Amino acid sequence: MQLTIPIINFSAFYSEIVICAFALVILMAQVLAKPSQNSLGYVAFIGVLIALVINVYVPSAMGTQAVESTFSGLWVLDNYSRFFKLIFLVGTGLTILISIKYIKQEAMPPGEYYAMLLMATLGMMIMASGADLMPIFLGIELMSISLYVLTGYARTRLISNEAALKYFLLGSFATGFLLYGIALLYGATGTTRIQGIFAFISQNTNNHHIILIGMALLVIGFGFKLAAVPFHMWTPDVYEGAPAPITAFMSAGPKAAAFAAFLRVFLEALPAMHDQWVMILWWLAVLTMSVGNIIALVQDNIKRMLAYSSIAHAGYVLVGFVAGGQLGTPGILFYMLAYTLMNIGAFAIITYLGGTNEARITVKDYAGLGYQYPIAAVALSLFLFSLAGIPPTAGFMGKFYLFSAAIDAGYLGLAIIGVLNSVVSVYFYLKVTVSLYMKSPEMQSTPGNVASLPAVFAPMLMVAVLISACGVLGLGILPEKYITLVQSSQLMLP
């Protein structure tokens, strides 16, 4: 038997090569050169910036329908994957900017931190470009293992160690469901290729029981990564225990990566099973929105509140998944970009106001800070208004897009439930703003930790906040060009 070596098209994964190379360079520099803590952050940011430029300006420019593939069709670079990689790289870049001051403040070793951050990004990029279930699974594992490490990176904090252990155990359990679902699909169809699964189901219309079971297991596996109810139990503890910049990163990039893979698998491989999985996702969307928002109402810890908020936002995106059609998928792309900007922006302010060792983390701790730190308070209020869906922010346009898609597809009841949940969420977002401006400061139990905030932002943190704020307002006030972009980045469905 002759072994055939596939032709490799390197232009299809230039961005991934850059990210991987910079991660390795940072690891080696940490060992050999002993650079300063800040310099490794700048190197990581430069790597992300180069990858971002390559992703946007590769030969097949965004806005066209050109598709590049390699590894015998296991890997695909299309406008859909390129747009999601744009989201990942923007989220990673903002996280690095937030982390530079934080890592120095908390005296954490920077090398492994930035290397793991880039490796998690590499895993997400693999998930977006995977045209086969195996590369998607490998991307999920690379992303997940990096996140397990980063969650417990504050090694001296018991809560961080506990969060990492919980995340690892539950994540490993969920991975078993995902891998078993892939195995069942392979056993039933004889292939793990997304197009191959679609072709098999199209040509064999009888007895798809094993495929249905495999599909259900995939929903469980992806549902865990999305933090969809009832697979969400890890989220509040992990978000609370992880370092604040990593919480920001986890709430945006990995969630977008899970949706990237989830959409590709179900819309490209399993459209024939649409009637079966759309009702499952309908109920998941309702439960995820409702449970996330209702539990967030009673949270006093801001990180836990945003954790349940993140769960609710996953439910909003599932509304677009259920809707599908010409508005559903573009609505998801638009919303994930908006959510990345507004959520990371909010966590940037929380990282700044938290002080050393994240001592200021409850809503009560924010009482009266609107006058003491006016720029931070205004920025945080903007991001919270956007998360609540108040115009003219990106959050409002994103929800309008998703709920319009649901109405257009005939899911009026789902859209109404989404709107009602969005109204409920206004309470706990505005609760923070009320505390900032309408509550008097209380005596701090640990004044030494929280009184040491500088009068102005760290420069890189300020850059991250400015980028996020401009993006939130730009997507909300002038959404036309972004809507055109997401419409050209849809999956080319069979």
Lowest-confidence range among 20-24, 321-325, 340-344? 321-325
Contact 323, 332 (CB under 8 A): no
Q: Please state, for a pLDDT cut of 90, what percent of the chain lies above it.
A: 61
Paired with 75 in beta bridges are 70, 130
In this model, does residue 33 exceed pLDDT 70? yes
* Burial (CB count <10 Å: 0-12, 13-18, 19+), residue 213: middle
Contact 256, 320 (CB under 8 A): no
Q: What are phi and psi of 316, to 5 degrees?
A: -60, -40
Average pLDDT value over all residues in the chain: 88
Among candidate residues 307, 292, 312, 189, the one with its CA nearest the CA of residue 242: 307
In this model, does residue 446 exceed pLDDT 60? no
Please give the residue that has the higher pLDDT: either 37 or 97: 97
CB atoms within 10 A of CB 5: 6
Q: Is 426 helix (H, G, I), strand (E, B) or coil?
A: helix
For residue 61, the model assigns a pLDDT of 43
Please give the residue that has the higher pLDDT: either 317 or 60: 317
Question: Which residue stretches of 227-301 are H helix?
Answer: 235-241, 244-264, 274-296
Name the band, by pLDDT with cuts 50, 70 and 90, for residue 443.
very low
For residue 367, the model assigns a pLDDT of 86
Q: Which pTM does this prediction carry?
A: 0.92
Q: What is the DSSP letter of 439?
A: S
Average pLDDT over residues 29-40: 80
CA distance 164 to 161: 5
For residue 445, the model assigns a pLDDT of 43
Q: What is the DSSP letter of 3?
A: P
pLDDT in tens, 197-245: 999 988 887 768 899 999 999 999 999 999 998 988 899 999 998 999 9
In this model, does residue 63 exceed pLDDT 50? no
Q: Is 331 helix (H, G, I), strand (E, B) or coil?
A: helix
Q: Please state, for a pLDDT cut of 70, what percent of the chain lies above it.
A: 93
Lowest-confidence range among 314-328, 332-346, 453-467? 453-467
In this model, does residue 488 exceed pLDDT 80? yes
Contact 481, 59 (CB under 8 A): no
Among candidate residues 175, 193, 78, 76, the one with its CA nearest the CA of residue 134: 193
Contact 299, 308 (CB under 8 A): yes
Residue that is written with structure tokens 């959404």 in the block: 479
pLDDT in tens, 110-137: 889 999 999 999 999 999 999 999 999 9
In this model, does residue 362 exceed pLDDT 50? yes
Contact 96, 117 (CB under 8 A): yes
In this model, does residue 397 exceed pLDDT 90? yes
Contact 108, 168 (CB under 8 A): no
- Please give the single-letter amino acid code of residue 303: K
In this model, does residue 396 exceed pLDDT 90? yes
- What are the structure tokens assigned to 251, written together? 């709430």
Name the band, by pLDDT with cuts 50, 70 and 90, for residue 36.
confident
In this model, does residue 158 exceed pLDDT 90? no
CA distance 38 to 102: 10
